[in-house]
Structure 1
Amino acid sequence: MQTKVKKGLIVIDSERCKGCKYCILTCPKGCIELSSEFNASGFFPARFSNPENCIGCAMCAVVCPEIAIEVFVED
């Protein structure tokens, strides 16, 4: 019996993000990093990277103090 791995999609509102790195530190698969470009408020926001590794656990959204992250899971 083969277990199907969930695939996740993370959407980050870069204008709400203040670059606190909580999501980066929490992600068990290393799917988030800081952008190299400023947002309108002068912060380096988080960005979704390594999408092939995302399992849709939503821990990033749970720890985000700015409520800037949405997670979608493909079953």
Structure 2
Amino acid sequence: MAKPKLKAHRINRDWCKGCGICVEFCPKKVLELDKEDKAVAVRLEDCIACRMCELRCPDLAIEVVTEDG
């Protein structure tokens, strides 16, 4: 089974409450909180599309989009 290839991170800034859970769970440190305490993907080239951020976000504010779906 091939690894999924990242197309995009969709972060709904209206839903994000800035809890930082996604930042802590990301194994590659792709995400950070910006000056407004909202999640932002700062190192997309490092993303392995593991979806930990998407799975752990309590507000459903993150979607990881891959080429396979």
Q: What TM-score range do you get, normalising by the shorter chain?
A: 0.7 to 0.9
Structure 2, unmatched stretches of 5+, are none
Count residues in correspondence: 66
Q: How does 1:1-75 map to 2 (within 5 A)?
A: 6-8=4-6, 9-36=8-35, 38=36, 44-74=37-67
Cα distance in structure 2, aligned partners of 1:58 and 1:16: 18
Cα distance in structure 1, aligned partners of 2:22 and 2:31: 7
Report the 3-state secondary structure (helix = DSSP H, G, I; strand = E; otherwise coil) of the residue aligned with 2:58. coil
Bigger radius of gyration among the two: 1
TM-score, normalized by length of structure 2? Answer: 0.84
Structure 1, unmatched stretches of 5+, are 39-43
